[in-house]
Amino acid sequence: MATYGQAVIPQLMQQGVKILVASPVASTYEGEWQGNFTVVLEFESMEKATGFFNSEAYLKVRPLRHANSTLNNLVFAPGFEVPKAN
């Protein structure tokens, strides 16, 4: 995973992405966890996230993630906004 990290982290930093979590350690309290590395990224918007994922630069390094991970799940979810009180 180190090779992937070395390739992708500069791309993420260039896009202003915040790396919130990046760890091989995860404590499972409910259900089952099968991943070997957990990463949570914060993009400015969903458009920026999908744009990065589909960029030529990322397409070149994506195979490194696939080759070094036992589970290649990837999801995009919008940020949470606390509902305003009525």
Average pLDDT of the segment spanning 63-84: 87
Per-residue model confidence (pLDDT) at position 29: 93
CA distance 32 to 64: 25
Torsion of CA 31, 18, 47, 40, to 10 degrees: -10
pLDDT one-digit tens code per residue, 17-47? 999 999 988 899 999 888 778 899 999 999 9
Pick 2-26+34-67's CATH classification: 3.40.50.720, 3.40.50.300, 3.60.21.10, 3.30.70.100.
Answer: 3.30.70.100
Domain coordinates in residue numbering, the chain: 2-26+34-67
Per-residue model confidence (pLDDT) at position 1: 63
Per the CB < 8 A criterion, the answer to whether 34 and 70 are in contact is yes
CA distance 58 to 78: 21
